[in-house]
Amino acid sequence: VPQRSQVDWDYPITAQNVVMMARTRQLGWFRRPGAAAKAIVNAALDRVGMLDLKDRKIGELSGGQQQRVFLARALAQQADLFLFDEPFTGVDKKTEAVLLTVFDELRTAGKILLVSTHEWGRSLDRLDRILLLNHRLIADGSPQQVMTPTNLQQAYGVSLHQHCDRDRGADLFC
């Protein structure tokens, strides 16, 4: 799932066609999608609550809707490994909830999820393992093992207390 800044939002493609791009490897470049590919794509769109907007151009969708379309594209690949680059950036609460639900479903299904994020909110408690990086590996382990005041001070130069005061205690670790 790409960062939003990496997408040309003016490209005239529908949400359904964006998701269908996930099936290119299975179909080949010049074959038309059959009923099976269309069913996979529609199921992925439905899973993220976007089936009703499948014919809308990607640039006409809200930021959260666009992010859900790209999540559907990732799901339609039917992969064992998923890479998410800043999936929670600029999304609404509905999209955040969809992302977290899908992440939980993928995890339960035994899929591997690699999530790159600067968010340290409530979603961290759903992760099995965190790598805290800042030019080097600072900590590796469970959220409780990694998100300590000492590690955060090393990574960000800010104490956990300063972070919680600034964000009014909204963080899981405050």
Q: What is the pLDDT of residue 169?
A: 46
Whether this model's pTM surpasses 0.85: no
Between CA 168 and CA 164 the distance in angstroms is 6
Q: What is the pLDDT of residue 60?
A: 93
- Of 95, 119, 143, at which residue does a domain stop? 119
43 in the same domain as 110: yes
β-strands 112-116, 81-85 pairing: parallel
| Segments of the chain scoring below 50 in pLDDT | 168-172
17 in the same domain as 58: yes
Q: Would you say 47 and 90 are in contact if contact means Cβ atoms under 8 Å apart? A: no
42 in the same domain as 108: yes
Between CA 67 and CA 65 the distance in angstroms is 5
- Of 119, 135, 166, at which residue does a domain stop? 119
Question: What is the extent of the structural domain holding 143?
Answer: 123-174
Q: How remote is the C-alpha of 96 from its chain's centroid?
A: 9
Q: What is the pLDDT of residue 163?
A: 54
167 in the same domain as 94: no
